């Protein structure tokens, strides 16, 4: 009898230990999971965007350039520009109809326009509302503009979004007519090159392709975009 009572006490003790262990394990999973989840959220909020280098991959410039329509001088200029140091492009301009995919850099110096297209100083910054002016050589990257038409679309891809524009007008102006770059406080894109396309010497006119924004696909939200731009700026300063 006493042996049976002793066995029951041992069994009760074992069950008590097992119960305590199971309760502890469940509590650990519950509170540990909550702590981990909270930590993951905090880490996400603290670092809302991937590393700058990863996002920059979104702006990978084409590995090959179709220069079949280019002048000999422009081909040589492009080859020479490859030996020079450039910052990352601001964006990639793509016009599927003419198989154009060109990096857009800041400024319109000769070396910039030999390497790609350039944002015209004084026009809207890429990624902001306004009239973005982009220039290119008529005997280089922008020679294919001779084949675009009203209604065609083009894309401007940045690390934070891809914007789609629809061509609304194509016209010729004098080199002194800067009204085509006027800002109307709406999202517009104006491409500028010299005309005629095969003119020898200093071209007398400017060929203007004007487009309006029709859609945008976000890659980063606005806070992440600001954070990315700030990180990019700090990285650039360190490398200078």
Report the alpha-carbon distance of residue 151 to residue 171 in Å, rounded: 14
Q: Which residue out of 58, 184, 194, 210 is catalytically annotated?
A: 194
Q: Which residue out of 58, 137, 184, 210 is catalytically annotated?
A: 137
Give, in degrees to the nearest 5, the angle at Cα 223 between 217 and 228: 85
Active site residue 58: no
Report the alpha-carbon distance of residue 37 to residue 33 in Å, rounded: 6
Alpha helical stretches, state H, the chain:
2-46, 52-56, 72-81, 110-115, 222-239
CB 123 within 8 A of CB 131: yes
For residue 59, which of 156, 135, 126, 164 has the smallest C-alpha distance?
Answer: 156
Report the alpha-carbon distance of residue 172 to residue 205 in Å, rounded: 6
SS (HEC) of 39-108: HHHHHHHHCCCCCHHHHHHHHCCCCCCCCCCCCHHHHHHHHHHCCCCCCCCCEEEEEHHHCEEEEEEECC
Report the alpha-carbon distance of residue 226 to residue 128 in Å, rounded: 12
Q: 197-206 burial string, b = 16+ CB within 10 Å, else e? A: beeeeebeeb
Active site residue 210: no
Active site positions, annotated: 137, 194
């Amino acid at each position: 009898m006493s042996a049976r009572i002793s066995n029951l006490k041992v069994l009760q003790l074992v069950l008590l230990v097992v119960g305590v262990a199971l309760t502890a394990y469940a509590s650990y999973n519950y509170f540990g999971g909550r702590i981990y989840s909270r930590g993951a959220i905090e880490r996400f909020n603290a670092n809302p965007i991937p590393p700058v280098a990863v996002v920059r991959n979104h702006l990978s410039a084409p590995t090959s350039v179709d220069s079949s329509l280019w002048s000999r001088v422009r081909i040589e200029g492009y080859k020479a520009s490859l030996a020079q140091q450039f910052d990352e492009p601001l964006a990639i301009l793509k016009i599927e109809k003419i198989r154009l995919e060109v990096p857009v850099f800041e400024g319109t110096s000769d070396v910039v326009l030999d390497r790609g297209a350039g944002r015209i100083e004084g026009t809207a910054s890429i990624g902001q509302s306004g009239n973005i002016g982009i220039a290119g050589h008529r005997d280089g990257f922008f020679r294919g503009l001779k084949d675009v038409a009203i209604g065609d679309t083009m894309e401007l891809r940045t690390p934070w979004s891809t914007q789609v524009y629809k061509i609304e007008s194509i016209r010729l102006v004098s080199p002194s007519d800067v009204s085509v770059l006027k800002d109307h406080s709406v999202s517009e894109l104006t491409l500028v090159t010299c005309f005629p396309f095969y003119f020898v010497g200093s071209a007398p006119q400017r060929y203007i392709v004007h487009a309006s924004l029709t859609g945008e696909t976000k890659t980063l939200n606005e806070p992440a975009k600001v954070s990315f731009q700030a990180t990019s700026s700090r990285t650039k300063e360190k490398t200078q």
